[in-house]
């Protein structure tokens, strides 16, 4: 079993065995480890046991939580870590068995949390920060023609939308010099980006000619030859 040893002025005040899933540290009486000192916040920090590891989290305390003299927000505790809360010190000690296990865990640290577990953990953290958790929705890009053509709006549902004269294009554009594919719009990890594919048709985004790729922002105006349309994104039905 792990232990937390509270020390003040080089004297051991008390030892706290880790008998539950978490230990809270703070000035209020309700805490597991009560430190009656003005430098310590009411609810200052918490240590959570998760599997074989112990995670210390500073609960946005006024004066901060330090591990081995470094300020932390969240820290995985190791044997003999020195936690400083105000002028009080807390030493973290693991049993020999736990130390051996921790060493093993260190060597194979990648682990997987199932969907329910990780959603629960995120919701808990969000609540602590006073945030509402709503299902995050993907944004779906839309192009809206503003050149008086009858194309109207086209949703960019494909990962790669081809724009040009070819029959296989998702967005078909006419014109004497229009190549089979004049440009593509791709849905990338960082958002939608337009890429000129090297034909002779000029491609402009907000009046600037592009020859390479460029990320699109809402209401950017795109011109391809004589065609003109606007890009914007809307909330998609699909959940992330």
Partner 1 sequence: MVKLQASGLSDTGRQRDSNEDSFAIDNALGLYIVADGMGGHSAGEVASKVAVQIIQRNITNWINKEVNEDELFDFPDDTLGRMGNYILSSIKLANRVIYEMSKEYNEYKGMGTTIGVLAVMPNAVISANVGDSRIYLFRGRAIEPLSKEHNMVSEQLEMGLISKEEAKNSPLRHILTRNLGSLETVNVDVFEIEPKNKDRFLLCTDGLTDLVSDEEILEMVYQGDDPERICQQLIDEANERGGHDNTTVSLVVIDNLGDKKPGGIFSRFVHRFMGKK
Residues 6+ apart with CB under 8 A from 105: 51, 52, 53
Residue from 1, 12, 100, 131 in contact with partner 1 (CB under 8 A): 131
Strand order in the sheet with 203-205: 153-155, 137-145, 227-239, 220-224, 203-205, 208-209
Comparison of 40 and 194: residue with beta carbon closer to partner 1: 194
Reference 90, options 49, 34, 51, 52; nearest CA is 34
Q: Report in angstroms how near the CB of residue 61 gets to partner 1 at its nearest.
A: 15
Comparison of 42 and 180: residue with beta carbon closer to partner 1: 180
Binding mask 74-93 for partner 1 (x = CB under 8 A): xxx-----------------
Comparison of 39 and 55: residue with beta carbon closer to partner 1: 55
Reference 14, options 27, 33, 28; nearest CA is 33
Binding mask 178-217 for partner 1 (x = CB under 8 A): xxxx--x-xxxxx--x-x-xxxxx----------xx----
Rg, Å, the chain Cα set: 29
Is residue 90 within 8 Å of residue 113, measured between CB atoms?
no
Residue from 80, 82, 103, 118 in contact with partner 1 (CB under 8 A): 118
With CB under 8 A, what is the number of residues at the site for partner 1? 49
Report the greatest alpha carbon distance in the chain. 88
- Binding region for partner 1 (CB under 8 A): 53, 55, 73-76, 107-115, 118, 121-122, 125-126, 129, 131, 133, 136, 157-160, 176-181, 184, 186-190, 193, 195, 197-201, 212-213
């Amino acid at each position: 079993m792990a232990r937390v040893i509270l020390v003040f002025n080089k004297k051991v005040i008390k030892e706290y065995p880790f008998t539950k899933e978490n230990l809270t540290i703070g000035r209020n009486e309700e805490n597991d480890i009560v430190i009656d000192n003005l430098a310590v916040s009411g609810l200052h920090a918490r240590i959570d046991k998760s599997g074989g590891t112990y995670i210390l989290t500073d609960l946005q305390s006024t004066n901060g939580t330090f591990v081995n003299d470094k300020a932390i927000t969240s820290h995985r505790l190791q044997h003999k870590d020195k936690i400083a809360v105000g002028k009080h010190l807390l030493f973290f000690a693991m049993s020999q068995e736990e130390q051996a296990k921790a060493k093993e865990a260190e060597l194979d640290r990648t682990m997987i949390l199932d969907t329910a577990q990780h959603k629960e953990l995120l919701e808990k953290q969000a609540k602590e920060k006073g945030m509402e958790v709503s299902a995050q929705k993907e944004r779906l890009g839309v192009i809206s023609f503003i050149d008086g053509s009858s194309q109207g709006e086209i949703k960019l549902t494909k990962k790669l939308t081809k724009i040009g004269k070819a029959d296989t294009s998702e967005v078909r554009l006419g014109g004497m010099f229009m190549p089979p594919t004049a440009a593509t719009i791709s849905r990338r990890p960082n958002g939608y980006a337009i890429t000129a594919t090297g034909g002779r048709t000029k491609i402009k985004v907000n009046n600037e000619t592009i020859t390479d790729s460029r990320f699109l922002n809402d209401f950017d105006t795109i011109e391809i030859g004589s065609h003109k349309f606007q890009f914007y994104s809307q909330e998609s039905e699909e959940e992330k």
